[in-house]
Amino acid sequence: MLRWHQKLTTKLTALGLLFFLILSFSLVWQYQLAHDRLEESSKQEAINQVEAVTVAIQLFTREAEQGGELIEGFIKELNIENNRSRYRIIHSPSIDNQYGFEEEEGFKSDQEREAYRTGKPLSYEADNSFHHVAPIIAGEGCPKCHKLPDGSGPIPVGYVLGLAAGSISKDIMNERLAALRQVGVNGLALIAVMLLAFAVFNNAFIVRPLIRIFDMIDKVSKGNLAERIDIHSSDEIGKLAEDLNSMAEQLQTSFDHIKNWKDELEKEVKRQTEEIMIQTARIKSMNDYFQAVIDSTQRIIITTGLNLVIDSVNAEWEEQAPKYDIDIVLEDMLKKPILSFIPDAHRERFRRSCDKVISEGEPGRHEVHREVVEMKVRGEKVIFSLTLSPLIDSDDLMVGLVFVISDITEVKRAEEQLRIERNKLNAIMEGMGDNVMIVDSNYNTLFLNRIMQSTFGEKAPGRKCYSLIAGRDTPCDECDKDGIIDRATVEIEGKDSRYYMATHTPITDLDGNRSVIGVYKDITFRKEMEEELRNLTITDNLTGLYNKRHFLSSLKKEMTRAERQGPPLALLFCDIDKFKSYNDTYGHVEGDVCLGRLGELIRQSVRQDVDTGYRYGGEEFTIILPNASIDDAIHVAERIRTSFAGHTFKPRLNGEEVSVNKKISIGIALYSKGISLDEFIEKADEAMYRAKRAGGDRYKLS
């Protein structure tokens, strides 16, 4: 009969064995669950990656002109960054024809052939990896670029262009499962040791801790990995509890790592997918922008590779080609040599120009070639401007040529017409008999015709017009007042003492700059005639003094100035005593000699350019003395009186010469403010008659 503690030990051993079996089953079950989750997440990762690659490839092929190069670069970068993943493009002959892939990727499994045939995605396992293949389907824009393999026409929408294949190695999953297995084995080994210890100890301290341990194991087996045993003894049970806690901790850590790894992997896949989408959208936006700019120009723009095969033609071709009887549509030009579209007469020269631009291109220095080409279109001459410039990549290397073609026929015609009109204008200016010059709005001389150059010098252009013509340092009063850019006709006194009638006509060029054409007619002779005529109208021919009409006008001006400014003004009235008797005795000729002598004495006795003498009428004379006091007036009057009285006339009477001295009477009046012209004259005249009544040969003050 077994003792109770032996029975208990047996029971504990049986329970331990049962616990061991349950724990083993639980660990196997948890291991299988982890295995399934890891396997499913790896498969889903392969599917997500391949679908992301497929989306990126669809964007590249539809939106980017260099789609093939971008796809290859994209796949290479993915394979470099993911050393346990492998991505491939299984491309159809249509993709090969479009992008010219250097190496062909063939089918590596029956599943890939099946996916290509059916056009449906397919997942499978092989070679210790998870595999997923997804078809690349032709969309709405693909028929524009892709052709059927035999070249018979564009591919239809829905056509399978190829496959995107991805493989993810099972190594990562196997490594994590191996770690999980090791944790389970370690736990089972530890539990086996503890069960052997439990069989030795049958005292009361074992049962209760075991019950607690069983409870903890039960909870852990049900998935509660956060459960822990609160036993702090230093015996084997305590160590077992510590190890169980550690095992549960490790299990929880492992599952947390697996979960975190899955979450991080999903985030990274999402981030990379979003980044690819952003870059693709940015490339598309930039491509659309530059294409819109190129298509909006009114010039034909063609790009080629270094082999002169056309890569692109902007939309302006379809606008311009019909104007020149060219029935080649834009699509027919792509992928063909540009030389095949050049007329035979210009093809060789065009080829040499292209070779020159290509041969002279060096990194950092690229030549641009320009030339003008003339052609006949419907019997009319058409002139084109052609610019050949290198197409440069990001490494500053030439990868092709850019051709810019524009019709400059109208520009050339306008230039020719402008040249003809300029020659006409020059001929007109040179043929005119007057001086002609062109001046800008700042008075700078721009042009002088032949006559003006001979008058003012050949080095005159560039000088100020007022310095050239009038010898002034500032603009002439007429121009400074009215403005050189306004139409005007003015008289100018030249520095050569000649007078010119200047006619200014403003003109405006295409840039809005204003200038003036000036025609300068020499009017010196006319001015001299006018001055002589004027002198005849205001001068008394007999005495050389001014006449009465000019006297009244001058006196009025001087009275106005004296009234406004206040300087003194004196007026002298002179009359020859007993002139009528002298005239009757010796004749009018001798009388005229007497009058002429008095006029000469008056001119000699007054201040030059200040005082003025006049013949008032008959034998009466007047003298205006501006800014003269009464003493000044008396001094002038006495000088005239004594000079005239001291002169001896030699008239003839009855054929014999006689000596006669004549006398004059003078009246002096000073201007006072407020008196009228007639009152001023009357004051001087009345003073003169008082001198006569006093016996003559004297002066009297008013």
Which residues have a catalytic role annotated? 619
Angle at 402 between CA 400 and CA 407, to 5 degrees: 160
Kindly report the length of the chain: 702
Q: Which of 140, 514, 448, 82 is nearest to 268 (CA)?
A: 82
> Can you tell me which residue has the tokens 């909006």?
296
Provide DSSP, 424-458. Answer: HHHHHHHHSSSEEEEEETTSBEEEE-HHHHHHH-T
> Can you tell me which residue has the tokens 């006409």?
424
> Can you tell me which residue has the tokens 């956060």?
226
CA atoms of 517 and 355, how far apart (whole Å)? 51
Q: Which of 663, 649, 668, 660 is nearest to 696 (CA)?
A: 663
Q: How many CB atoms lie within 10 A of CB 250?
A: 17
Residue 502: its H or E element: strand 499-508
Q: Which amino acid is at 430?
A: E
Angle at 558 between CA 553 and CA 559, to 5 degrees: 95
Percent helix, percent strand, percent coil in the chain, to nearest 5: 55, 25, 25
Give yes or no for a contact between 167 and 129, defined as CB atoms under 8 angstroms apart: yes
Residue 298: its H or E element: none
Q: Which of 128, 94, 89 is nearest to 106 (CA)?
A: 89
Cα of 70 vs its chain's centroid, Å: 35
- Exposed/middle/buried for 445, CB within 10 Å: 0-12, 13-18, 19+? buried
Beta bridge partners of 154: 147
Long-range contact set of residues 294-300: C-beta below 8 Å, sequence gap at least 24: 298/406, 299/404, 299/405, 299/406, 300/403, 300/404, 300/405, 300/406
Q: Which of 79, 81, 100 is nearest to 164 (CA)?
A: 79
DSSP at 495: T
CA atoms of 361 and 403, how far apart (whole Å)? 16
Give yes or no for a contact between 614 and 550, defined as CB atoms under 8 angstroms apart: yes
Enumerate residues 6+ apart whose C-beta is below 8 A from 403: 300, 301, 302, 303, 304, 338, 386, 387, 388
Q: Which of 576, 571, 542, 545 is nearest to 556 (CA)?
A: 571
Q: Which of 486, 482, 535 is nearest to 506 (CA)?
A: 486
DSSP at 326: -
Q: How many CB atoms lie within 10 A of CB 170?
A: 17
Report how far apart, in Å, the C-alpha atoms of 645 and of each of 12, 601, 640 are: 180, 11, 9
Q: Which amino acid is at 522?
A: D
